[in-house]
Chain A
Amino acid sequence: MKEQLQKDFNNTIKDLNLSQRDIEIKRFCLDSFINKGFPNRKEEDWKFSDLNQIIKKNIGELSFYSDYTSTNKVDTSVFVDGLEHNKIVFVNGRIEKIDFDYEKKNQIEIIDQSETISKFDNNNSLSDLNNAFTNKSFKILVKNGYKLVKPLIIYHTTNSKIWSKNINFRLDFELDKDSSLRVIDIFNDTSEKNFLNIFYNFELRENAVLKNYKIDKFENRNIKYSFNNIEQHKNSVSETFILSSGSNFFKNEINCNLKGEYASAFVNGIFSLKNDKHHEIRTIINHLTENTKSYQLIKSVLEKNSKAVYQGKIFVDSEAQKTNGYQLSKAILLNEESEFNAKPELEIYADDVKCSHGSASGSLNEDSIFYLMSRGLSYQQSRELLINGFLLDVVEKITDSEIKNLIKNLIGIKE
């Protein structure tokens, strides 16, 4: 793998117009990645999902270089109907389109950061990989007091042109004071056996509101990793919703730093898995100052050989008095081969806090099914009704009604 990495790295550098210093930073990250390799189960954070093995088993040898000099055709059929929105379109990892047609032009700034490297650091070899190979990276700045009229949908589309490739994405968002943004990530893949490595960084200034939705719904055989870092200042609110379902493997990591008073973070997620899929959500909520709060709710429905992992951590600094932190994970295992692993973790250094976590996993309640069947529903109908009800609980947490409806339609929940 080492030689492949070196070779692909040299090709990547050739396409870019970088200063000597930036090349050195990139090379440093490359060396660091070569040194560490893909994360494996020996690392505590990857205990339940050995990425190294998963890549070996599902993909085999990866290549890291993508030719971004020619444009890809944008397949408009993947666009969401019935919801007016702004777009960023990635095709096979190349940004093909950025449009904020519905917004005031002077309120949003799109900064091309490709030529200035800002390193992403999360002590994880995948961030090194991302730093070394990302080729275009943009920063989207929402200016003071501006609330976007329409949501932003980021389409991650891949097609059969790519095979056994590693693709790296990087986006930065800065929400200035009193601004607000709704982001939806939608994955559409017709390709197979690729590894997508996605890093987002959000900076939320005072009173900023971020609504962040990730939708991995459509069946595909790719492997994905996404890391979202959310820095929150005073009074800011972040809401994250994850629908984890389509890919072969998907690990979503959310890292929230609640740095300002009265900042709050909400993370909700659904695993709906079948057929040997293996997904993970890992959250780290760092309460770093007084009067911050966080809520997390993760629900899973697991079928046929699937495996879901939830690792959630609430960290409370000794400064962070009056913290509220809640965490709940529930799982339904529908057949014998499915597996649910959880590691809900609390690390608390302040005494005036209210923190709790709960985790439950088990089978579908036979009594409830019996009740529904005795009222004339078939077994299949009762089962669906119960599962829908179970998941609806999380969907209802979405505060934006337009997007809530979109997601309901996608999952197929009818009211």
Chain B
Amino acid sequence: MDNRQKEIDNLKDYKYGFSTEIENIQAPKGLNEDVIKFISNIKKEPEWMLNFRLKAFERFKVLKEPDWQKPKFPKIDYQDLYYYSAPKSMKDKPKSLDELDPKLLETYKKLGIPLQEQARLNGIAVDAVFDSVSVATTFKDELTKQGIIFCPISEAIQNHPELVKKYLGSVIPTSDHFFATLNSAVFTDGSFVYIPEGVRCPMELSTYFRINASNTGQFERTLIIADKGSYVSYLEGCTAPMRDENQLHAANVELIALDDAEIKYSTVQNWYPGDKDGKGGIYNFVTKRGLCKGKNSKISWTQVETGSAITWKYPSCILKGDNSVGEFYSIAITNNHQKADTGTKMIHLGKNTKSKIISKGISAGNSDMTYRGLVDISSKAKSSTNYTQCDSLLMGNKCGAHTVPYIKNKNSDSNIAHEATTSKISEEQLHYCQQRGLNAEQAVGLIVNGFCKEVLQQLPMEFAVEAQKLVGISLEGSVG
């Protein structure tokens, strides 16, 4: 009891549940052309960008909210949201970290990312997003030396319009599905990464997203371009303060890998999942798509999804270049009333393309977990292979675990293998661990970590440690 119990109690109340009081500039409530112009104006965007947004909005008007997904949610009133909010002190951009609002800095400290320290000690360049505007970007100099561009996308629109113009919307067009189109119309900020030809990015690039103001849907836009022969590993980690109202998050992430380039994209998502009765929590409706445009390119997605009331996302790879490789490693943990409908799409277009999908789903409490995936090998994708494995672990009989794979093979030279299993933690395993002195909760943590090992191994070191802890925290209270 005692200390450990206290610790658990602390954790049960969402670890990162606090919000900082900073005055916000908000766009008027609702969604219309004026709001889009307002966002575009406040960001001092060129005309082509405004047109991009307006074109998306035109399309958005005729689209309907999809309803085929497993987790149902109450109807969202898109006119009742704020589409832009920025910390006020951002109006005149600070020149260095010292100029930042001390309250802002404190928020990051609570989150475990003191900017200066982290930058110095970890060698990680952090582009922290506080609500919708990037606050500070560290390690810029070192990256600039190599010719790497790592900046908020709004800056990239100003400074590198030729790159943004060429690639923005090339993987997720403005005419895509409902949420992606919404994002194209109203996205506020996000990260932009460009790795020049032949450069291996010397550090892990990382962004902490943070949703702060209540009632603000966050619409991030991330664009990563890896030029010929380059390599980049990008980390995305998320925490959000505790709020009662459901918050919508519809981000778009576009990755483009040219000849021989490799992009590794890792996510640890720990947004507020709602309380024990399923009240509140974030809606995470994110569109992530990577295009292996060049020959021999590779895109690898790794995700650990433990938060959000509803997670609904399918990080996908379009394998267009010959010999390109797509990978997807995923752990999704749902507890209490959380719902997740996640998976991937592997679209094989080029010759000799390979893809691998490893998905581990764990559901406990009253939650529901669905793996939904597509493997599509077109008739031109000769000698392609795919391997898919999706395993689910169930804890208790009030939760559900579902697997819905779509497999299309139009090519006799290609091989597809798919496996899925569903089971529970066996009594023998639990007994064995407990016999050796672990309590039930620790034993479950250990077994689940073992179950997820294949995916956890794919994460960069710093993340792997955090993720392992998270796996344990997420399942607390689900045994016994």
Contact = CB atoms under 8 A, between A and B. Distances in A.
Contacts of A336: 379, 411-413
Nearest to A360: B417
A34 interface: no
Contacts of B398: 318
Interface string A322-349: 0000000001011111111111111111
B404 interface: yes
B412 A346 contact: no
B412 A341 contact: no
Contact of A352 (B68, B411, B418, B424): B424
A362 B416 contact: yes
A344 B405 contact: yes
Contacts of B419: 356-358
A341 B402 CA distance: 19
B396 interface: yes
B364 to A, nearest CB: 9
B409 A333 contact: yes
Interface string B380-404: 0000000000001011111111111
Nearest to A320: B397
B397 A321 contact: yes
B407 A353 contact: no
B170 interface: no
A413 to B, nearest CB: 23
A351 interface: yes
The number of chain B residues touching the other chain, given as a range, is: 20 to 34
A44 interface: yes
A362 to B, nearest CB: 4
Contacts of B406: 341-343
A339 B409 contact: yes
B422 A346 contact: yes
A99 B262 CA distance: 70
Nearest to B415: A362
Interface string B418-430: 1111111000000
Contacts of A333: 409, 411-412
A343 B419 CA distance: 12
Nearest to B410: A339
A331 B409 contact: yes
A175 interface: no
B420 A361 contact: no
Contacts of B400: 347-349
A17 interface: no
A340 B418 contact: no
B453 interface: no
A92 B10 CA distance: 74
B374 to A, nearest CB: 10
B408 interface: yes
B412 A351 contact: no
A338 B416 CA distance: 14
19 contacts: A318-B397, A333-B412, A335-B412, A336-B411, A340-B408, A341-B406, A342-B405, A343-B405, A343-B407, A347-B400, A351-B424, A353-B422, A355-B423, A356-B421, A359-B416, A361-B409, A361-B416, A362-B409, A363-B412
